[in-house]
Amino acid sequence: MGRSARTDGAKVDGILLLDKPEGITSAEAVRRIKRKVGVKVGHLGTLDPFATGLLPLCLGEATKIAQFLNAADKEYEGVIALGVATDTGDRTGQPIGEEPVPALAAADLERTVDRMRGRSMQKPPMYSALKRDGVPLYKLARQGVEVEREPREIVVRELELVDLGDGRLSFRVACSKGTYVRVLAEDIGRELGTVAHLAELRRTAFGAFRLADGAADVDRWDPASGEGLMSIREALAGLPAVDLSDKAAAAVQRGQGWVLRDLEIRDAAAQNALLLAASGRPLAVVQRSGEGWKFARVLN
């Protein structure tokens, strides 16, 4: 990782795998990295300030491919505190209710895991970055205002629960985009006959990106080091790729659509594909449009 990500002095194109520390927002992490590079920077999948772990950042030309990465599943680990509910659903909020914690047997945890796994509808919390009439819900929540939120389908693909004692559970979860782990923690508490909030949260995976692959420290990261950097080609490795002739590659750079008429994509079910120059350099992402293809993003 990092060898084929482009770094020209402080100009960087690629995906930076960052290990966000506790206590800063995702936006602050972007600001700190942006001071070190001469390109646009954007993050994938916001992490709350109290949460830590994998925060992929799109640098330079990679900001153009964020839409093809943001739908990825995510994995987390952390701790759920039973017996106390908070207004935010996590440890940063104010207590709003207490209930005794029943004695938990292994069968109770197994039953809860079975009920939580799979598809379900989840209502986003008020303390979230979703917006109503342009205003983030968390700002309304701080004003004591609550608005209706439409439940959204989520998928919990994997879930593990371990009783740590003293009313605390450790967990590991793999879930779909849009899943609020704070809400999941509250639901687990109710399923076990009490209330709960999220005490610790660490994201360990974002689609094909893994914290274990070597994520960089936000303050110590040096753009010239290549640490934590993944190229656009690597980031889009899951898309079928098409190698183009020099003539076709030059036409793609000019946005000329004739290149798309005779594209042959091996994966007949693919909705997106990656066009490559003879050198292997990514040129564009194309998207299926009816029986043909259209440019979704052209890269410089």
Distance from C-alpha of 75 to C-alpha of 186, rounded to nearest angstrom: 18
Question: Are the beta carbons of 186 and 90 closer than 8 angstroms?
Answer: no
What the block records as the tokens of 89 is 């659903």
Angle, alpha carbons 154-133-26 (nearest 5°):
60
Spatial distance between the Cα atoms of 80 and 161, rounded to a whole number of angstroms = 9
Q: Do the strands 216-217 and 11-20 form a parallel or antiparallel pair, or are they unpaired?
A: parallel
Comparing C-alpha atoms, which of 259, 230, 244, 286 is closest to residue 13? 230
Task: Decide: residue 232, CB within 10 A, 0-12 exposed, 13-18 middle, 19+ buried.
Answer: buried
Backbone angles phi, psi at 7, to 5 degrees: -130, 110
Question: Is 213 known to be catalytic?
Answer: no
Of 267, 97, 280, 119, which Cα lies nearest the Cα of 189? 97
What is the DSSP pairing of strand 282-289 with strand 292-298?
antiparallel
Interatomic CA distance for residues 130 and 180, integer angstroms: 12
Residue 265 tokens read as 């994509």
Q: Report d(CA 207, CA 205) in Å as an integer.
A: 6
The catalytically annotated residue of 19, 48, 90, 187 is 48
Question: Is the CB of residue 73 less than 8 Å from the CB of residue 174?
Answer: yes
For 30-34, the CB contacts below 8 A with 24+ separation are 30/57, 32/218, 32/219, 33/57, 33/59, 33/218, 33/221
The residues assigned a catalytic role are 48
